Amino acid sequence: MKQQLSPRSILSVSDLTGFELFEIIERATELKPQIKSHHTISTLYGQVIGLLFEKPSTRTRASFETATRRLLGEPVYLSSSELQTSRGERPEDTARILGSYFDAIVARVHSHKTLEDLARFGGVPIINALSDLEHPTQAISDLFTIFETKGRMRGLRLAFIGDGNNVCNSLLLSSALIGMNMTVACPEGYEPKAEVLDKATMLAKETGSSIEVVSEPKEATEGSDVIYTDVWVSMGEEDERNKRIKDFAAYRVDRELLSCAKPNALVMHCLPAHRGEEITEEVISGVNSVVWQQAENKLYGAGAVLEFLLARDILEEKIAPLL
Ligand code: CP
Ligand code: NVA
């Protein structure tokens, strides 16, 4: 019997090579004006995409759902609270069934292991729409925003201020893959996972970039091209809220911290933002902030990711006659 190869999935941003990451960013760049002008793009025609969400989402769900429709595919949203998994059905059984209905599954999960089960038993591409470990599609569209605004990524310096969380992990790996330097400033005990740091450091060696973790926000921000922050209390960490608010008090992105970065530095935040906690109103609404552009770009990033996994052959056919 012919052995079936597992289809490509994106559970971690490091499931891509630096070249592939750049290919997705370039495609997002092409898709943006086409989608904005309602140009007909049919790359996902006939494909049904399952969107399985165990946690709330405004941007990621809406951008994947809209991207699927804009590329003429069909999205089907499933809230985990309405699935039989909420009454004890095994994740691998759910994965087998959903994989037999959908052409790909975009999933936001509590535990990264659920994504691995989906990928192992689903038989279709799985896209991580946020787990406890990573948020790869966020990092992909964020790199697109940096590329769109600065015209390059390689050699830039990104300072991440705050929690070494899922968003930070994916930014570390994608910065390393693309050759961007990244410094994380976080309180002791909130560093990114050692396995992610090791992998990012290894990838950074290949692209000649640097990955650092420091405790002083100003040290990370000094001379940076991008200053990025995320919430201090991620989804599922609500019980730790009081402790976290105290522990992160010195890690707020405010006017003083921003003044350490280059004058034209970009201020980025994946959103949702908690003004007065990780970022001030003045900075998020200031001239350096690109957060709304960044959120809009999730739509084109989502489209490019879906096409990368489901329609690469169509894109190659379209491009080939032009070569
Ligand atoms: N940035 C982001 O992932 O936002 P949502 O939680 O609204 O999807
Ligand atoms: N770190 C945040 C990101 C939200 C998009 C969380 O996991 O809640």
Residue 197 and residue 291 in one domain: yes
* Cα 157 from Cα 183, distance rounded (Å): 8
Residue 129 domain flag: yes
Pocket test for ligand 1, best of 57, 144, 296 (most atoms within 8 A of CB): 57
Q: Report CA(323)–ligand 1 centroid distance (Å).
A: 38
Name residues whose C-beta falls within 8 Å of residue 275's C-beta, 6 or more positions apart in sequence.
281, 284
Q: Report CA(42)–ligand 2 centroid distance (Å).
A: 32
Residue 56 and residue 142 in one domain: no
CB contact at 8 A, 127 and 149? no
CATH number, residue 47: 3.40.50.1370
CB contact at 8 A, 310 and 27? no
The sheet that has 126-128: what strands, in order across it? 74-79, 48-53, 104-108, 126-128
pLDDT at residue 1, rounded to an integer: 46
Q: DSSP labels for 261-273?
A: S-TTPEEEE-S--
Residue 44 and residue 140 in one domain: no
Q: Whose CA is nearest to atom 3 of ligand 1?
A: 60
Looking at the CA of 278, which ligand is closest?
A: 2
- In short, whether 166's Cβ falls inside 6 Å of ligand 2 is yes
The 10s digit of each residue's pLDDT in 127-178 is 999 999 999 999 999 999 999 999 999 999 999 999 999 999 999 999 999 9
Q: Work out which ligand 1 atom sits closest to the CA atom of 235.
A: 6
- In short, whether 57's Cβ falls inside 6 Å of ligand 1 is yes
Residue 156 and residue 279 in one domain: yes
Q: Which residue has the tokens 């969380």?
A: 165
Residue 106 domain flag: yes
Q: Work out which ligand 2 atom sits closest to the CA atom of 163.
A: 1
Residue 114 and residue 185 in one domain: no
Residue 24 and residue 81 in one domain: yes
Q: What element of type H or E holds 143?
A: helix 136-150
Looking at the CA of 234, which ligand is closest?
A: 2
The 10s digit of each residue's pLDDT in 188-203 is 999 999 999 999 999 9
Looking at the CA of 53, which ligand is closest?
A: 1
Name residues whose C-beta falls within 8 Å of residue 254's C-beta, 6 or more positions apart in sequence.
279, 280, 282, 283
The 10s digit of each residue's pLDDT in 276-321 is 999 999 999 999 999 999 999 999 999 999 999 999 888 777 655 5
Q: Report CA(241)–ligand 2 centroid distance (Å).
A: 14
Q: Read off the pLDDT band of 6 (50, 70, 90).
A: confident
Boundaries of domain holding 108: 13-134+298-306
CB contact at 8 A, 303 and 35? yes
Q: How many domains does the chain have?
A: 2
Pocket test for ligand 2, best of 161, 165, 193, 244 (most atoms within 8 A of CB): 165
Q: Report CA(272)–ligand 2 centroid distance (Å).
A: 8
pTM beyond cutoff 0.85: yes
Tell me if residue 4 falls in helix, strand or coil.
Answer: coil
* Cα 299 from Cα 154, distance rounded (Å): 23
Q: Which residue has the tokens 């490019």?
A: 304
Average pLDDT over residues 245-273: 98
Residue 156 and residue 276 in one domain: yes
AA letter at 15: D
- In short, whether 235's Cβ falls inside 6 Å of ligand 2 is yes
Residue 62 and residue 129 in one domain: yes
Residue 107 and residue 63 in one domain: yes
Residue 110 domain flag: yes
* Cα 191 from Cα 140, distance rounded (Å): 22
Residue 129 and residue 166 in one domain: no
Residue 51 and residue 188 in one domain: no
Q: Work out which ligand 1 atom sits closest to the CA atom of 130.
A: 3
Q: Whose CA is nearest to atom 1 of ligand 1?
A: 270
Residue 147 domain flag: yes
Looking at the CA of 270, which ligand is closest?
A: 1
Q: Report CA(1)–ligand 2 centroid distance (Å).
A: 43
Residue 315 domain flag: no
Residue 124 and residue 186 in one domain: no
For residue 192, whether the previous peptide bond is cis, meaning omega lies within 30 degrees of 0, is no
- Cα Rg of the chain (Å, integer): 19
Q: Work out which ligand 1 atom sits closest to the CA atom of 58.
A: 7
Name residues whose C-beta falls within 8 Å of residue 141's C-beta, 6 or more positions apart in sequence.
28, 294, 297, 298, 300, 301, 302
pLDDT at residue 72, rounded to an integer: 98
Q: DSSP labels for 155-173?
A: T-EEEEES---HHHHHHHH
Q: Report CA(230)–ligand 2 centroid distance (Å).
A: 7
* Cα 189 from Cα 14, distance rounded (Å): 24
pLDDT at residue 2, rounded to an integer: 47
Residue 195 domain flag: yes
Can you read off the two tokens belonging to residue 234?
Answer: 């991620």
Name residues whose C-beta falls within 8 Å of residue 229's C-beta, 6 or more positions apart in sequence.
160, 161, 162, 251, 253, 268, 269, 278, 279
Can you read off the two tokens belonging to residue 195?
Answer: 């396995």
- In short, whether 231's Cβ falls inside 6 Å of ligand 2 is yes
CB contact at 8 A, 162 and 251? yes
